[in-house]
């Protein structure tokens, strides 16, 4: 039985075991399957008949890319194992964290065939220096202005998008199935980038499939999302029609922290009210069509701390990606294409 099946099960109150809330409140449990390496997980893995084991998983590579405003953005690239069929995943850390917090998750997703990029957002980790040493001072997340946090979206993530664009055209991944994972501050960046990516296509002067400029983000995984972090409010992004209606979302939060839980619940609510009810759908149809998931882990832990193996978040994310970006009916239309840059 897959981890994200939608049949209700009796709640179990053990610490660390989550419950799910979908658009209809149809599944509140699945507790015995979700926060441990369980029989259900083994069954899910046995049923993954479309997951060939690669002979060799490429080693990750540390790189630096330049943003348009001159920052040297450090990232680690974990190449996929399925060529043009590799799902690209971007992992975004929280405030005062860095890309190494996602290392184990990156390796899990890479083993599942994904092409993973984990950047240090500006002012964090190794992304503190301006190109050629200009401007004299390094960026420090603890004292950055709100405009620099906003630049994580319109500078840092645009540089990551350009990097993925190049990897797409090299046949290493399919940019049209992009998934972005973010923790706390990173979740705010993820939502705002998803909107910026959609706007890029909405404002594209050349409306042709081969000149597509955006709407590449098809899935978001938000870990302890907040309604706003400094220069990164998310309300507008969450209700932007291409995001609220079409982008699949998986939200994680520790429910014993009332503030964090309330923030995540409100983010979930912004999207939930716009999703189809699926009231009359059969279980099979619900499995196929559901695009919004809310995982509540019975803990006070938040953000990257939910990456603790007992919460099973990397495995759940891998299954979510498989369900929404590989096996779903809409995903069949998101085929690989070389992506050209249009000229207005």
Q: What beta strand segments (E) does the chain contain? A: 19-21, 61-66, 72-78, 88-92, 115-119, 178-183, 217-223, 248-254, 292-297
Closest CA to 11 of 312, 283, 25, 318: 25
Residue at 53 is within a domain: no
* 10-14, 133-137, 168-172: the lowest-pLDDT one: 10-14
Residue 341 confidence (pLDDT): 77
Say if residue 44's pLDDT is above 50.
no
Residue at 324 is within a domain: no
pTM: 0.85
> 123 with 139: CB under 8 angstroms?
yes
The structure tokens 């909107």 sit at 195
CATH number of the domain at 148, please: 3.40.50.1820
Residue at 204 is within a domain: yes
Percent of the chain with pLDDT over 90: 70
Residue at 339 is within a domain: no
The alpha-carbon radius of gyration of the chain (Å, integer) is 19
Three-class secondary structure of residue 40 per DSSP: helix
Distances (CA, A) of 111 to 47, 153, 237, 251, 331: 16, 28, 31, 22, 21
Residue at 12 is within a domain: no
Distance CA 157, CA 32 (A): 37
Residue at 301 is within a domain: no
pLDDT tens digits, one per residue of 179-208? 999 999 999 999 999 999 999 999 888 877
Residue 45 confidence (pLDDT): 46
Closest CA to 116 of 64, 59, 65: 59
Query: What's the maximum distance between 2 C-alpha atoms anywhere in the chain?
Result: 62
Q: pLDDT class for 286, splitting at 50, 70, 90?
A: confident
Domain count, the chain: 1
Residue 29 confidence (pLDDT): 35
Residue at 2 is within a domain: no
**In which domain, by residue range, is 92 found?**
60-238
Structure tokens at 342: 């249009």
Q: Alpha-carbon dihedral of residues 152, 157, 163, 165, nearest 10 degrees? A: -160
The structure tokens 């994904």 sit at 114
Residue at 262 is within a domain: no
């Amino acid at each position: 039985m897959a981890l994200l099946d939608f049949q209700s099960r009796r709640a179990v109150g053990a610490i660390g075991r989550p419950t799910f809330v979908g658009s209809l409140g149809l599944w509140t449990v699945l507790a015995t399957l979700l926060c441990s390496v369980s029989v259900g997980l083994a069954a899910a893995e046995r049923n993954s008949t479309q997951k060939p084991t690669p002979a060799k998983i490429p080693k990750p590579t540390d790189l630096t890319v330049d943003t348009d405003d001159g920052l040297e953005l450090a990232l680690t690239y974990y190449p996929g194992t399925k060529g043009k069929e590799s799902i690209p995943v971007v992992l975004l850390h929280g405030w005062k964290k860095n890309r190494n917090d996602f290392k184990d998750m990156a390796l899990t997703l890479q083993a599942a065939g994904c092409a993973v990029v984990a950047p240090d957002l500006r002012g964090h980790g190794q992304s503190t220096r301006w190109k050629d040493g200009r401007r004299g001072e390094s960026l420090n997340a603890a004292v950055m202005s709100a405009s620099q946090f906003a630049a994580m979206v319109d500078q840092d993530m645009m540089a990551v998008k350009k990097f993925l664009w190049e990897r797409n055209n090299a046949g290493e991944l399919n940019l049209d199935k992009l998934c972005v994972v973010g923790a706390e501050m990173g979740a705010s960046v993820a939502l705002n980038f998803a909107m910026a990516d959609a706007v890029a296509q909405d404002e594209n002067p050349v409306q042709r499939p081969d000149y597509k400029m955006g709407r590449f983000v098809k899935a978001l995984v938000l870990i302890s999302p907040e309604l706003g972090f400094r220069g990164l409010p998310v309300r507008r992004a969450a209700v932007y029609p291409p995001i609220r209606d079409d982008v699949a979302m998986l939200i994680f939060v520790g429910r014993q922290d009332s503030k964090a839980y309330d923030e995540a619940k409100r983010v979930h609510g912004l999207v939930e009210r716009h999703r189809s009810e699926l009231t009359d759908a059969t279980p099979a149809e619900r499995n196929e069509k559901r695009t919004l998931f809310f995982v509540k882990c019975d803990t006070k832990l938040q953000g990257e701390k939910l990456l603790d193996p007992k919460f099973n978040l990397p495995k759940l994310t891998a299954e979510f990606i498989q369900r929404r970006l590989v096996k779903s009916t809409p995903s069949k239309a998101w085929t690989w294409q070389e992506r050209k840059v249009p000229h207005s």
